């Protein structure tokens, strides 16, 4: 039976990650993965995947974290990476093939509704992939059912924009020039949907999880030079979303790009970094752990 694209759960996110955000991410994958490498380190340290474990990765994207998980669980373990973005999964498939990571496989599916095998996984992990569910409680109930009793959940979500200057600075510039975004329901799916720890705690408790811990972790992301960061801010994050919505003309785009470049030029450079002027992007992520009851 054909899927009705307009009525299926997470329809807006399917469209976005296949037609807008997914293709943009693939084009900038090398830069974005270099930037987020410190988050990978934090996430895997918290999750502690072990040799022989079965891991479910939610929102595996282009496969960078999938490869790290495959290495951690070894040939005796397995990793199932799930995502809704066909462009990102295509790049992930190529990466896994190049790495000959036979213990990892990918699935084009929505983790909110996909019928995973019951009690099959030791660990469910996600790097910024769980904030986009239309029905988060239903999604985490589905994930919980896929975990063994006592199985672990570990994910990274963004803290609020005020704790993420790398987003706050360009967004303030875009907001001043373009005006506010269209009104959205509170806690709509998106990068900042899980910025409130108590909201996250409520969702997980209602979804069958216990032993919930939420840690705000400051991290310095690996930025590039100011002009390149400005170009990325025009595409990604809250500023990129506002630019996508407002569609400024070329003249205003050039103005925004210049102002964002100047803002990023005021960020500190990476100590001992390359002479090109790569900058450290102050950020904060929420590291969340829990166990299936």
Instruction: Report domain extents, the chain.
Output: 11-162+186-222+282-292
Contact 82, 132 (CB under 8 A): no
Cα end-to-end span (Å), the chain: 35
Report pLDDT for 273: 57
4-8, 31-35, 222-226: the lowest-pLDDT one:
4-8
**What is the pLDDT confidence band of residue 9, given thresholds at 50, 70 and 90?**
confident
| pLDDT, tens only, 202-221 | 999 999 999 999 999 999 99
Contact 280, 270 (CB under 8 A): yes
Report pLDDT for 185: 87
Give CA–CA dist 170/110, Å, rounded: 31
Cα–Cα distances (Å) from 135 to 17, 113, 131, in that order, read 17, 10, 10
**What is the pLDDT confidence band of residue 272, given thresholds at 50, 70 and 90?**
low
| pLDDT, tens only, 58-117 | 999 999 999 999 999 999 999 999 999 999 999 999 999 999 999 999 999 999 999 999
The gap from C-alpha 252 to its chain's centroid, in whole angstroms, comes to 29
Cα atoms in the 13 Å half-sphere on the side-chain side of 201: 8
In the chain, the percentage of residues whose pLDDT exceeds 90 is 90
Give CA–CA dist 191/128, Å, rounded: 7
Cα atoms in the 13 Å half-sphere on the side-chain side of 211: 11
Average pLDDT of the chain? 94
What is the widest separation between alpha-carbon atoms in the chain?
A: 57
| pLDDT, tens only, 50-69 | 999 999 999 999 999 999 99
- Burial status of residue 135 (CB atoms within 10 A of its CB: 0-12, 13-18, 19 or more): middle
Instruction: Tell me which CATH code domain 11-162+186-222+282-292 carries.
Output: 3.40.50.150
């Amino acid at each position: 039976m054909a899927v009705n694209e307009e009525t299926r759960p997470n329809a807006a996110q399917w469209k976005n990650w296949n037609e807008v955000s997914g293709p943009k991410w693939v084009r900038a994958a090398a830069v974005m993965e270099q930037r987020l490498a410190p988050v990978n380190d934090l996430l895997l340290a918290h999750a502690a995947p072990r040799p022989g474990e079965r891991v479910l990765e939610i929102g595996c994207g282009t496969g960078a974290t999938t490869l790290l998980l495959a290495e951690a669980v070894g040939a005796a373990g397995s990793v199932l990476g799930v995502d809704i973005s066909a462009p990102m999964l295509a790049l992930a498939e190529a990466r896994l093939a190049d790495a000959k990571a036979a213990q990892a496989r990918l699935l084009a599916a929505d983790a909110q509704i996909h019928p995973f095998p019951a009690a099959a996984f030791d660990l469910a992990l996600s790097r910024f992939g769980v904030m986009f569910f239309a029905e988060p409680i239903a999604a985490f109930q589905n994930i919980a059912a896929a975990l063994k009793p006592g199985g672990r959940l570990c994910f990274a979500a963004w803290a609020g924009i005020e704790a993420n200057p790398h987003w706050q600075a360009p967004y303030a510039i875009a907001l001043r020039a373009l005006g506010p975004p269209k009104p959205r329901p509170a806690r709509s799916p998106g990068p900042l949907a899980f910025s409130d720890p108590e909201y996250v705690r409520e969702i997980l408790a209602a979804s069958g999880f216990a032993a919930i811990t939420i840690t705000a972790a400051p991290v310095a992301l690996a930025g590039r030079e100011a002009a390149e960061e400005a170009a990325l801010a025009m595409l990604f994050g809250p500023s990129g979303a506002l630019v996508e919505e407002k569609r400024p003309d070329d003249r205003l785009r050039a103005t925004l790009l210049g102002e964002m470049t100047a803002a990023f030029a005021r960020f500190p450079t990476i100590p001992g970094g390359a002479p090109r002027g790569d900058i450290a992007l102050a950020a904060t992520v929420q590291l969340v752990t829990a166990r299936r009851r």
